[in-house]
Chains A and B, each alone.
Chain A
Amino acid sequence: MQKRINQNPLVVVLLLISQLVFAKQAWAGGPWFWLSSEPLAQVTVMEPFVEWRSGPAFGFPVFHVSEQGEKLELLIRKTKWMKVKDPKGHEGWIAIGDLMLMQDDSGAKVSLVEPRFDNFSTRRWEAGLMAGEFESTSVNSAYAGYWMTNNLSLELWGSQVLGNSSEIRILNLNVLHQPFPEWRFSPYLTMGAGKLFIKPKATLVNEGSRSEDTMNIGLGARYYIDDRYFVRMEVKDYKIFTNRKTNEEATEWKIGLSVFF
Chain B
Amino acid sequence: MENWTQRILLKGALLGMLVANVLSIAVAAETDKPLIEPDVRPQVVDESLIDTENFELGTFAGVINIEDFESSLVYGARLAYHLSEYLFFEGNIAMAEGGDTSFETLGNVTLLTDSERDYRYYNFGVGFNLPGQLFFPGAYTFNTNFYLVGGIGATEFADDNRLTINFGGGYQVLVNDWLSVHFSVREHVYKIDLIGEEKNSFNTEISSGLSVFF
Q: Which residues of A contact B84 (CB under 8 A)?
A: 79-80, 226, 228
Complex formed: what's the CA distance from A228 to B89 in Å? 12
Task: Assess whether B176 is in contact with A162, with CB atoms less than 8 Å apart.
Answer: no
Complex formed: what's the CA distance from A117 to B179 in Å? 32
Q: Is B213 an interface residue (CB 8 A)?
A: yes
Chain A: CB-nearest residue to B176: A21
Q: Is B44 an interface residue (CB 8 A)?
A: yes
Q: A15-B136, A108-B44 are in contact. Are A77 and B50 (CB under 8 A)?
A: yes
Q: Which residues of B contact A56 (CB under 8 A)?
A: 85
Q: Mark B175-195, 1 if CB is under 8 A from A, else 0.
A: 111110100000000000100
Tell me if B's interface is mostly helix, strand, loop or mixed.
Answer: strand
Q: Which residues of A contact B87 (CB under 8 A)?
A: 229
Stretch at the interface among B28-36, B70-78, B94-102, B155-163: B155-163
Q: Which residues between 148 and 191 of chain A lie within 8 Å of chain B, taking CB atoms? A: 160, 162, 164, 167
Task: Assess whether B179 is in contact with A41, with CB atoms less than 8 Å apart.
Answer: no
Interface centre among A21, A75, A78 (most CB of B within 10 A): A78
Q: Mark A231-261, 1 if CB is under 8 A from B, else 0.
A: 0000000000000000000000000010100
Q: Which residues of B contact A164 (CB under 8 A)?
A: 193
Task: Assess whether A14 is in contact with B175, with CB atoms less than 8 Å apart.
Answer: yes
Complex formed: what's the CA distance from A22 to B141 in Å? 12
Interface size on A, residues (CB 8 A): 61
Task: Assess whether B179 is in contact with A21, with CB atoms less than 8 Å apart.
Answer: yes
B55 to chain A, nearest CB (A): 10
Q: A18-B140, A59-B130 are in contact. Are A28 and B51 (CB under 8 A)?
A: yes
Q: How large is the interface on B (under 10, 10 to 19, 20 to 34, 35 or more residues)?
A: 35 or more
B126 to chain A, nearest CB (A): 6
Q: A106-B43, A129-B124, A229-B83 are in contact. Are A36 and B131 (CB under 8 A)?
A: no
Q: Which residues of B contact A30 (CB under 8 A)?
A: 51, 177-178, 214
Task: Assess whether B175 is in contact with A38, with CB atoms less than 8 Å apart.
Answer: no
Q: Mark A59-80, 1 if CB is under 8 A from B, else 0.
A: 1110000000000001111111
Chain B: CB-nearest residue to A142: B124
Complex formed: what's the CA distance from A259 to B84 in Å? 12
Q: A112-B47, A142-B124, A259-B83 are in contact. Are A61 and B52 (CB under 8 A)?
A: no
Task: Assess whether A79 is in contact with B162, with CB atoms less than 8 Å apart.
Answer: no
Q: Is B120 an interface residue (CB 8 A)?
A: no
Q: Which residues of B contact A43 (CB under 8 A)?
A: 45
Task: Assess whether B176 is in contact with A18, with CB atoms less than 8 Å apart.
Answer: yes
Task: Assess whether A29 is in contact with B85, with CB atoms less than 8 Å apart.
Answer: no
Task: Assess whether A55 is in contact with B45, with CB atoms less than 8 Å apart.
Answer: no
Q: Mark B129-166, 1 if CB is under 8 A from A, else 0.
A: 11111001010111100000000111000011111000
Q: List 7 A-B contacts (CB under 8 A).
A: A17-B175, A17-B181, A41-B45, A78-B54, A105-B44, A201-B159, A257-B89
Residues of B that sit less than 8 Å from A by CB: 42-47, 49-54, 81-87, 89, 91, 124, 126, 129-133, 136, 138, 140-143, 152-154, 159-163, 173-179, 181, 193, 213-214
Ranked nearest first, the 9 interchain pairs of A and B with the lowest CB-CB distance are: A59-B131, A57-B85, A55-B143, A106-B42, A105-B42, A138-B163, A29-B51, A57-B131, A41-B45
